Structure 1
Amino acid sequence: MTYCLPLKICQLASLWLLAIAAPAISQAPDRNVGSIEHLPALKGDYFSLFSKEVGRNYHIYVRLPEGYDDNPDQRYPVVYLLDGDSTFPMLAPLHLFMHYDDQIPEAILVGIAYGGFEPGVNMRHIDFRTVMDDGTPGGAPQFLSMLENELLPRIDDKFRADSTRRIIVGQSRGGSAVLQAAWLKPGLFWGHVASNPGREPDTKLLFGMDRAPPEKKRSGHLIVASGSRDRDYLRGTALEWRDTVAARDDFPWDTSFIDIPGGTHAADLGNVYRAAMKTMFAQTTESKTEPQN
């Protein structure tokens, strides 16, 4: 036998049940909380890249320029940040502020990250070396092939990138990788910024730049930056590079040495980045800051 309450009572019961359920619904986790979309200075895109060249996965973070969607015909320089786990969240907002204050052109910033600092996850000690300490081959050739054949084409295809204005930035051992990229792939990037580069056994005078340079039409920039308070052996090598390499005019780039007074090994990367970008885009920024008649 079925029993039916009057319609009004049923409606009241339904409202009561909804009232009980409402707190539980409101407490459901918001999956967008903590999203990078809530950080506009970092906002852009993310994708996971499994590299066939290297045989490992990378996490790729992309920061898009302010006004990117409003200027569909504009193409932008692209800055590739090695060690993107830490350099991307540091330098992406800085670039925005430099655009405001220094008239540096807006750019697409690409952070190449490993997903952690733990050994076995972060493989910079292999990717940024041509020869390991025991004499076995390092992973630098495969890493550079990943950049050339997998990552750069994907960025060029997906975003409005100016492929003639690619810049690679690296710190410490990543700085050595920047010099390797310049030497082994001299036409791949327009700008190269090596901040306090490491001096591994395979690096010699900051990757053999005391030898004959690679053949390439002269264009772009190669910048080595050194903090005056960097580790003694790294500082000494950087100053030797300044005195013996930076002044040469037979390289396929404009070579520059940037001194960071009081700068330490890692904490002054932001100062290096700002000085390097102002050096590379000097003509652009000067034209924008000239007084108008």
Structure 2
Amino acid sequence: MKRLLLLLLAISLPIVSNSQIKYESISSQKLGETRQIKVQLPRNYEENSEKRYPVVVVLDGDYLFEPVAGMVDYYSYWEDIPEMIVVGINQDGIRMDDTYYSDKNFLPEGKGAKFFEFIGMDLLAQLDQKYRTANFRIIVGHDFTSNFINYYLLKQAPIFQGYINLSPDLAPEMANRVTNALQTAQSKKWFYLATSSEDIPKLKNDILSFDNQLKNIDNEMVSYKFQNFEDETHYSLVGKAIPSAISSMFEIYRPISTKDYNEILLQTSVSPSQYLADKYNSIKELYGLERKISVNDFMAVYKAIEKTRNWEDYKILYKMAFDHYPGTMLGTFFEARYEEETGNPKKAMRIYQNAYGQEKIAFLDTDFMLEKAEAIKKDFGY
């Protein structure tokens, strides 16, 4: 186990080296003691002074923090997920006390009840006060702590939207309680569950049975993903599950892929520009994040319009481009293409010429835009 954790650390540390790692103490009234946490802030946290960030709370932070923080930093660097604040709670030697539950009703009791309130009322409140947090939160746990994270899902208004369960050691009734909570959820929830072929037998059997319940849930508000990794142990499955879990919770956030382009944007029944607008509206609705449309996504829609010859789509596209990239040639180019293909070559020529002095972007520069204007002038004898 220790060799595996050292390997995970070796993989993660180079990735997180450019992020800001802080070691802090949280004074807890609920616990009546001080707890140690680790906090990873996004790379450009200080520079982006107006930006707010989702929060990932990692239990077993003494060994799970580094792999989770590393994956968050890596995926957010490539803009597959948003930048996030990652918080690890150290529980070395006290995790059994922290996750204690009653043997009568199987709910947190004693120190477990106090630790439950510590996260919800002390930790998150202090994080919200100290850092620029967004109202989207994920919680991560492994075996005993994985079982524990699901107690938050049982509340009437859960404070976490995403739950990453790494080989949970399920309390009695937990499977039924979670299934019912997800079946009746009225706000968006993401639930991830993992085991492996070499997992602890009792845990694996309970998890497989749990999956059989969860996969029958019929609720459009729930995104559920289950993985059973081959030839992985109770500990090694963590290294494969974390990136898969994180990426699955942000599928719509990722840039438009080749698959999206071929299977969605090239369909003549789909408006590529409207798809783009809906994609970014969904990001705002689901994660509470205002995200600038990426140039990559604009280019994907541009290519789809050219391929399908759906020229009217340029009207939506150039308006969005002017909003998101004012002062650049992006909106100007799309507007010119619209006029060029809808029977207004002279107007298109003038729009291309208007790009002079605007900021270049992607493949668009002054020479390209003036060449486009000159080509129209030559073709039509203006």
Do residues 255 (structure 1) and 232 (structure 2) align? no
Equivalent of residue 145 in structure 1, options 101, 117, 141: 117
Cα shift at 1:207: 6.6
Aligned to 2:167: 196
**1:188 alignment partner AA:** I
* Counterpart residue number, 2:207: 238
Structure 2, gaps ≥5 residues long: 1-12, 257-293, 304-382
Partner letter of residue 154 of structure 1?
Q
Counterpart check, 1:98 vs 2:75:
yes
- In 2, Cα distance between the equivalents of 1:214 and 1:58? 35
Shift of residue 54 of structure 1? 1.8
Between the two proteins, the alignment pairs up a number of residues equal to 246
**Structure 1 pair 251/226, CA: closer, same or farther in 2 (3 Å)?**
farther
Shift of 1:100: 3.5
> Could you give the per-residue CA deviations for residues 23-80 of structure 1, whole angstroms, max 9, x where no partner exists?
xxxxxxxxxxxxx9xx735523222112221223210111011111221111111100
Residue 98 of structure 1, CA deviation: 2.3
Give the TM-score, by structure 1 length.
0.74
Amino acid at match of 1:128: T
Preserved CA contact (<8 Å) 2:161 2:190: yes
Structure 1: which amino acid aligns with 2:99? F
Contact kept, 8 Å, 1:84 with 1:113, in 2: the verdict is yes
Counterpart in the other structure of 2:132: 160
1:238 shift after superposition? 0.9
Report deviation, 1:286: 4.4
- The answer to whether structure 1 residue 183 and structure 2 residue 154 are counterparts is yes
Structure 1 gaps, min length 5: 1-35
Q: 2:98 aligns with which of 127, 130, 149?
A: 127
> Which residue of the other structure, out of 25, 34, 37, is the alignment partner of 1:48?
25
Q: Conserved in 1, the CA contact under 8 Å of 2:53 and 2:132? A: yes
Amino acid at match of 1:93: G
Are 2:138 and 2:160, in contact at CA under 8 Å, matched by a contact in 1?
yes
Aligned AA (1:285): R
Q: Is the 8 A contact 1:205 1:237 kept in 2?
A: no
Task: Answer yes or no: is the 8 Å Cα contact 1:210–1:244 preserved in 2.
Answer: yes
Q: Which aligned pairs between 1:195-234 and structure 2 lie closer than 5 A?
A: 195-199=166-170, 202-206=171-175, 208-209=177-178, 211=180, 216-234=185-203
1:224 maps to amino acid:
L
Asked if the contact 1:179/1:207 (under 8 Å) is kept, the reply is no
The code of the aligned residue for 1:238 comes to I
Residue among 105, 110, 131 paired with 2:87: 110
Partner of 1:27: none
Contact 2:24 2:37 in 1 (8 A): yes
Name the residue aligned to 2:369.
none
Relative to 1, partners in 2 of residues 1:286 and 1:229: Cα closer, same or farther, differing over 3 Å?
A: farther
Distance 1:210 1:94, change over 3 A: closer
Match of 2:35 among 36, 58, 65: 58
In structure 2, what is the equivalent of residue 88 of structure 1?
Answer: 65
Which whole-Å CA distance do the structure 2 matches of 1:205 and 1:265 have between them? 20
Q: Give the partner amino acid of 1:160.
A: R
Deviation at 1:219, TM superposition (A): 1.0
Cα distance in 2 for partners of 1:108, 1:139 equals 27
Distance 1:217 1:208 in 2: 16
More relative contact order in 1 or in 2 (CA 8 Å, sep 6+)? 1
Superposition deviation, residue 214 in structure 1: 8.6
Displacement of 1:216 in angstroms is 4.8
Structure 2: how far apart are the matches of 1:175 and 1:213? Answer: 16
SS of the aligned residue for 2:178 comes to coil
Residue by residue over 1:105-154, the C-alpha shift from the partner in whole angstroms, topping out at 9 and shown as x without a partner, is 2111001114xx3xxxx321021122259x99443322121111111011
Q: Determine the C-alpha separation between the residues in 2 that align with 1:265 and 1:255.
A: 21
Give the helix-richer structure, 1 or 2: 2
Distance in 2 (CA, whole Å) between partners of 1:82 and 1:238 is: 20
- Aligned residues of 2:192 and 2:226 also touching (Cα < 8 A): yes
Pick the aligned partner of 2:144 from 163, 170, 173.
Answer: 173
Q: Does residue 237 of structure 2 align to residue 265 of structure 1?
A: no
SS in 1 for 2:231: coil
Asked if 2 retains the 8 angstrom alpha-carbon contact of 1:42 and 1:89, the reply is: no
Task: Check 1:212–1:267 CA distance in 2 against 1; reply closer, same or farther (3 A cut).
Answer: closer
Q: State how far apart, in whole Å, the 1-side matches of 2:81 and 2:17 are.
A: 18
Distance 1:191 1:77 in 2: 11
The one-letter amino acid paired with 1:168 is I
- Cα distance 1:267–1:174, how it changes in 2: closer, same or farther (>3 A)? same
- SS at 2:158 equivalent: coil
AA at the equivalent of 1:279: S
